[in-house]
Structure 1
């Protein structure tokens, strides 16, 4: 099979790319290993809601226009929205198609699928940021009778064995899973990450509203939204996302409040020996970092935008910071504590092992400039900090896809002119 452009991945980023390819008149095919549309959203747990309000759904050609822009769409509705988007834009999608290897021959890229090879002049990698669950080395040291599950496989508290749960990691997913388990009466223990907290509302608006406005309009008033070039190191592309929740109309996730309500907090899980796990002795410092991150990373940006755009916003009315540090320990016997499950909310890592091209950096991330990789005709979208923090979310994938397709279309035109 010979086509102009192959898009690998039919989630929101791949479909946004398809939208712009169609607008540019570029013949293309979108393939996805899954057997149904909706991207990775169906992989979330049952009670999951968008952490960002519905007004952040900005897929090109299908921005949210429903009756509840400030609400938080539940999991199945998000998946349905993305699936409907494919139909709305008439995307040429082939499901149940796994690219086993992507290589090159001459000026063509060769995508090896089961029983066939697709030759393409251009390929867009749209496989998203959630490629392979990451498990720490300590997971191998746990006793065999302890049930282990990565957050990717978690759906509801009832799927876990009876007994307490140790949640390892308090990024955006981990913090929400702690709440999901705690509200059902489970005894929950938590190994706390260095992931920032964020207030649901700041100066009269949802925190994400300020983030979106700065993303869309900051440059117009001299407050540009940070790009990947502003990160201190390339490793910062993989930093965890602030924890918030879209459940019950949206709210903060406060680890100290959860501790006051009976959740047990610990430092970082550093080792496991059978049923015994050990933690770093720095819970107080971790909680202080978590609670202060918003004022370091986001508040200066938002305040600068509010001032520059001359927005009449109310003052910061967040309640005083809670300095409660719960009792903790550096060692926990899971059996003695009645803990039967360790739930790993330790994130994901990129997995481009099937990419047979020398374009990956030391983190397994394609070397690129805003999605244009070092290999001619190979592009990427929807990776963490591809261009900005919004590159892998519903609000940002469209802009990056448009940029990539503009480069791709110009490359096609140049090649036709040269021939």
Structure 2
């Protein structure tokens, strides 16, 4: 029997992934005249935004739609666009820059060779002198091991696979985790009339607008211009620990014109709040920490302990004439009971949505390049292995490295280094 013919392609540089990081990298590679291909595992462009639920709106305002060579110039810079418009934005950008994308091409192995790298895919093999890892931060949905102990009668979904309340079975829903996805999905379920239980994690609340601007305006300003005034806290080398690269973002939403997600307000609307999910008890009940009052206070204090201080410091240092901050009214609301145990059957809970984040997955790398958090060891996106680069990861160089406005400068630096190799 004849062996199947396996195609083999060659190019100077392969970019793994055609989301925002891959497209930004492609733009700069083209500007520098570097031959390249983007290998995208999905059958269509649009990146991880295609995995968001039906009612999702981009969490960052329109002014953040700023990939290399383009910026938002519409009439509503502080408005927010829905999921499908976000996907269309990326598809239009890829067309505008003529990105050389190979769709439905998942990279399964990257091996070093004397000349560079061999990349194995489901559609053949590629040889390249350089490789840029641009597959983003939403790679492997994380679900706690204790989930395996839940009854098979309960539908379990990671937020990655949640689409709408209508696709869930009738009954109450437990949402585990209060990052941005957990808060927004809870609101989606509540708006649909569902009974919702919510397990509270430690992600901080933040005001959608602060001192006359969307809070993301100040986050970008401190990231980009803060170092000019000695405010360096949002640069990666200022993190107290490498684990800080994976801290959750503030509880914000782009829905309804943009707003903060306030956990006590969700409770007043009928959401049953619980502490952090701990695991399963012997009698099949779910167990939560018994610290809800302290946890809510910690969530509400988080903004004042970090982002508020940085924004205020930047405003003072830059001499910006910004209005004084609004002082929120004290809110001491607490549920009459929360409980540290939850019997899903007794509460009529038929679905559990795990909003427990993602882990990095670079298992395709045939190189000893990852640290204990599966993060490639690098300096400004240039890894320890010659010719291998990374773009679009959380805190690659600064807090906003994985965002639309932050990925372009990192890609520019990486491609400059890459082009110098020849």
User: Partner residue of 1:113?
Assistant: 121
Please report the TM-score for the alignment, with normalisation by the length of structure 1: 0.96
Cα RMSD after superposing both structures: 1.2
Q: Any residues of structure 2 matched to 1:174-323 within 5 Å, and which? A: 174-224=182-232, 226-273=234-281, 275-323=284-332
Question: What is the CA-CA distance between 1:278 and the residue it aligns to?
Answer: 0.9
Find the aligned partners of 1:288 and 1:143 in 2 and give their Cα distance.
Answer: 33
Q: Which residue of 2 aligns with 1:17?
A: 25
Question: Which runs of 4 or more aligned residues in structure 1 lie more than 4 Å from their structure 2 counterparts after TM superposition?
Answer: none
2:83 is equivalent to residue 78 of structure 1: no
Deviation at 1:49, TM superposition (A): 0.5
The SS at the match of 1:278 is strand
Q: Is the 8 A contact 1:56 1:212 kept in 2?
A: no
Per-residue deviation, residues 36-70 of structure 1 (Å, max 9, x unmatched): 11111111001100111010111001211222111
Deviations 1:258-315 (A, max 9, x none): 1111111011111125752111111112111110000111011101110111111111
Is 1:164 paired with 2:187?
no
Equivalent pair of 2:49/2:83 in contact (CA under 8 Å): yes
Can you give the 5+ residue segments of structure 2 that lack an aligned partner in the other structure? 1-8
Q: Please report how far the alpha carbon of residue 215 of structure 1 lies from its aligned counterpart in structure 2 after TM superposition.
A: 2.3
* C-alpha separation in 2, matches of 1:324 and 1:164: 23
- Given that residues 275 and 335 in structure 1 are in contact (C-alpha distance below 8 angstroms), is that contact kept between their aligned partners in structure 2? no
For each residue in 1:74-117, what CA deviation from the matched residue of structure 2 results, as whole angstroms up to 9, or x when unmatched? 10000000011001011111111111100011131110112522
Q: Show CA shifts across 1:164-207 (max 9, x none).
A: 00000000110111111011111000110011111111111111
In the alignment, the residues of structure 1 paired with residue 172 and residue 284 of structure 2 have an alpha-carbon distance, to the nearest angstrom, of 13
Tell me the distance in 1 between the aligned counterparts of 2:318 and 2:232.
12
Matched residues, number: 412
TM-score, structure 2 length as denominator? 0.96
Which moved further from structure 2: 401-410 or 213-222? 213-222
Alpha-carbon shift at residue 225 of structure 1 (Å)? 5.5
2:147 aligned residue (125, 139, 146): 139
> Is the 8 Å Cα contact of residues 200 and 275 (structure 2) preserved in structure 1?
yes
Written as runs of structure 1 = structure 2, the 5 A alignment for 1:325-344 is 325-326=334-335, 327-344=337-354
CA distance in 1, matches of 2:191, 2:125: 50
Q: Does 1:324 align with 2:333?
A: yes
Mapped to 1, the partners of 2:125 and 2:271 lie a distance apart of 53
